Amino acid sequence: MSDKLEFRPQQLARLKAQATQTQKDGAVLAAKLMAIPAWQAATTIALTVASPIEVPTAALIAAAEAAGKTVYLPKTMPHRQMTFLEDPGPAGRITSAYGIPEPPYLEAKVNQQVDLMLVPGIGFATDTHARLGFGGGYYDRFLAGYRGHTITLVPKVMQFATAAWPINDYDVPIQDLILV
């Protein structure tokens, strides 16, 4: 087992090489997500604006809004903290220092306890639901205090029968994994 610092660049290279397949898997994963009770019951949903190596989220954002759900996006804050704000739509988003589209900070739009959170990552262990993120620790810090439902859409390239990276005490497992 390699450590996270060794494993991440290898996995990111795999994700880049399989980006086209991940985009194709996205439609299957989205359909599975929208069929589950947790999605259907949620009135507030948090997710990210996906990069090309991740499962696409634009259609999920549109489907959530069409169903009357309020969509929240993460905003990075100082000290590796994160908050969730109502999505202002593509024209209202700003690009973070990490190159991620996010909402501008407006305190009145903060919601730290949405009903359902789609958690991003680059690898997921199907046995323990352990997650390997991009390396900033933002989600693990946030999820330590989050009490809503967590779920992840996992294309084949992100699936591991068991974690190929060390799992730390502060790593927060995801409640539900939706697999291709």
Residues 79-113 pLDDT 10s? 999 999 999 999 999 999 889 999 999 999 999 99
The pTM (predicted TM-score) of the whole model is: 0.96
Question: pLDDT digits over 11-23, tens only?
Answer: 999 999 999 999 9
Degrees (nearest 5) of the Cα angle 82, 57, 67? 100
Count of Cβ atoms closer than 10 Å to residue 86 Cβ: 17
Within 8 A by CB and 6+ apart from 175, the residues are 129, 149, 150, 151
- Percent of the chain at pLDDT > 90 equals 98
Q: Is the pLDDT of residue 171 over 80?
A: yes
- For residue 76, the enclosing domain spans 4-179
Identify the pLDDT of residue 98: 87
Identify the pLDDT of residue 2: 77
Q: Which two tokens stand for residue 89?
A: 């739509």
Question: pLDDT digits over 127-165, tens only?
Answer: 999 999 999 999 999 999 999 999 999 999 999 999 999
Using alpha carbons, select from 135, 171, 174, 163 the residue that is nearest to residue 1.
163
Q: Which two tokens stand for residue 150?
A: 């967590």
CATH number at residue 55: 3.40.50.10420
CB 120 within 8 A of CB 139: yes
| Domain total of the chain | 1
CB 82 within 8 A of CB 111: no
Separation between Cα atoms, residue 68 and residue 65, nearest integer Å: 5
Identify the pLDDT of residue 95: 96
Degrees (nearest 5) of the Cα angle 116, 122, 128? 70
Separation between Cα atoms, residue 3 and residue 87, nearest integer Å: 35
**9: pLDDT confidence band, cut at 50, 70 and 90?**
very high
